Amino acid sequence: MTLIRFLAALCVSALIATPLAAQDRRVPSSPAELRLSYAPIVHRVQPAVVNVYAAKVVQNHNPFLDDPIFRRFFGIPGGPQEQMQRSLGSGVMVDPSGLVVTNVHVIEGADQVKVSLSDKREFEAEIVLKDSRSDLAVLRLKDSHEKFPTLDFANSDELMVGDVVLAIGNPFGVGQTVTHGIVSALARTQVGITDYQFFIQTDAAINPGNSGGALVDMSGHLVGINTAIYSRSGGSQGIGFAIPSNMVRVVVASAKNGGKAVKRPWLGARLQAVTPDIADSLGLKTPSGALVASIVPNSPAARAGLKSSDLITAIDGQPVEDPNAFDYRFATRPLGGTAQIDVVRAGRPVKLTVALETAPDSDRNEITLSGRSPFSGATIANISPAVADELHLDAATEGVVVTSIAEDSAAANVGFQKGDIIMAVNNRKIARTSDLDKAAREQARLWRITLVRGGQQINVTLGG
C-alpha cells in the first residue's frame, strides 16, 4: 500500500509539474491517427475566406506620344493613355454583416474593390478603414442583405511553436487553396514590413495572392492574417509571416465602432534595444528587454513613474524581448484601463501601473501642399505627440513632418519621403505647417531646403 501511495503521489506531482498547454498537445500514437483529415476544419472555415480583387486607373505616359509627327503617322491620339492596373489578394469575413479584413497593400490606391466568395458570388466593396501601421484594412460588402459565415478570433498569445496551422487564400489567382504547416516561430520582430514588428512565422505554403488570407488553428479559429513571405524566387520557400489575431481584433473593433483611424494606447517614452554592451553594463545575463531612453513630460509613462534607464521586461505578465515586442503588446491593450509594466531599476524589480490613453493630437493641422513647388503632393503635419508616436519621432522634435507622398507628384519625384522633417526653406525656419504652406506658394529660382531624415540633417538645393 505504501508503494502504491508513493506511485500515486509521484503521478500527481508529475501532472502538476507539466504545463497545461503541453498536456493538450501530443504526437500521433498510431498509423490510424496519421490518416486523420483536416477536411472537417476546412469545410467549416473555407466559406469565410474570400478573394479580393482591386483595380485602379493609372496614366501610362509614352514619350513618343509627345511627338505630333509620330502621333499623326500612327493615328494615335495625344496625351497620357489610361490603363487599368489590377491586383489580387485574399480576405477574411469577420462580421456577419459583410465586414472583411485584408491587407492594406492588397487594396492600396484602388479605385474599385471586388470581393468574391467561396460560392463564386461577387460583391462590390467599400473601404471602411485602412491602418497602414499594421498593414490591415477593413472592407464592407455593398448591397448585401444576408448574414455571412465568419471566423472567430483565437488568442494569438496562446500559440506555441510547433502548433499545426492551415493557411487559406488565393495564391497566384488560381482560386481558393488550403496549405498546412506548423508555427515555426513567434514574435518575429526583425521582418521590416509594418510599424508593429511582431509576426507569427509559419512554414505553411504562402505565395503571392495569399496576402490577407486566413491562418487558422486546429479549432478553426483565426490566429493570424497572412501578409508576407521571405523568398528569393517570388514563391514559397517555407518562411511566411502572419499578423497575429490580437492585432487584427483591435483594427476590426475600430472599424465596427465607426472609426476612420485606429486609436491605440500611448506610452510617451522612447525605447531602445538592449545591445550586448548595454547588457554587460547593466549586469544582465542576456541582452533582452526595452530600455527607456527618454520620457515625454506629463505622458502616461511620466505619470506612472517610469524613468530614463529603466529596463522594461514585461507587460501584464507577458515578457518583453525588445522595443518592437513592447510596442505590439502595448498597442493591443484596450483603451480606458491600465497595464502593469515590470521594470528593472538599478538592479531591482519595480512594478508600475500605466494608464491606457491616446496621445494628444489637437495640434496636428495636417494639410496637402499643391502648386508649383518641390513640395507639391506632400501631406505635412505639425509634430504633435500623436504624430511623433505614429512616425517613431522624438516628441521634443521641432518642425514639420511629411506624413505621406502622392504617387507621381513633384514631392515624390524629387525624393521626399514619409517621416522627413522639414526644418528650413530658403533660410527661413519652418516651425508650423502654415510656414511651409506659405513658403511653397512663393516663386523661387532655387529651393534651399534643410531636412532631417533618420536623425541626420540633410541640406538640399533644387532648381525652381
Residues acting as catalytic residues: 105, 135, 211
Phi-psi region for residue 250, left (φ > 0), alpha (ψ -120 to 50) or beta?
A: alpha
Taking the C-alpha atoms of residue 399 and residue 411, their distance in angstroms, rounded to an integer, is 18
Q: DSSP strand E in 347-399: where?
A: 348-355, 367-368, 378-382
112-141 b/e (C-beta count within 10 Å ≥ 16 → b): ebbbbbbeeeebebebbbbbbbbbbbbbbb
Taking the C-alpha atoms of residue 239 and residue 227, their distance in angstroms, rounded to an integer, is 11
Which residue's C-alpha cell is 501530443? 26
Taking the C-alpha atoms of residue 303 and residue 326, their distance in angstroms, rounded to an integer, is 19
Give which of 243, 235, 232 is closest to 189, Cα–Cα. Answer: 243
Degrees to nearest 5, angle at CA 416 with 410 and 418? 120
Taking the C-alpha atoms of residue 305 and residue 351, their distance in angstroms, rounded to an integer, is 10
Q: Is the CB of residue 274 less than 8 Å from the CB of residue 284?
A: yes
Mode of pairing for the β-strands spanning 99-103 and 112-116 = unpaired
CA 108 from centre of chain: 14
Taking the C-alpha atoms of residue 236 and residue 210, their distance in angstroms, rounded to an integer, is 11
Q: Is the CB of residue 344 less than 8 Å from the CB of residue 286?
A: no
Taking the C-alpha atoms of residue 148 and residue 404, their distance in angstroms, rounded to an integer, is 35
305-339 b/e (C-beta count within 10 Å ≥ 16 → b): ebbeebbbbbbeeeebbbbbbbbbbbbbbeeeebb
* DSSP β-bridge partners for residue 79: none
Q: Is the CB of residue 256 less than 8 Å from the CB of residue 242?
A: no
Q: In one letter, which amino acid is 283?
A: G
Q: Is the CB of residue 83 less than 8 Å from the CB of residue 58?
A: yes
Give the other-Cβ count within 10 Å of 360's Cβ: 16
Enter the C-alpha cell of residue 313. 521586461
Distances (CA, A) of 251 to 130, 242, 323: 9, 15, 21
Helix/strand/coil for 45: helix
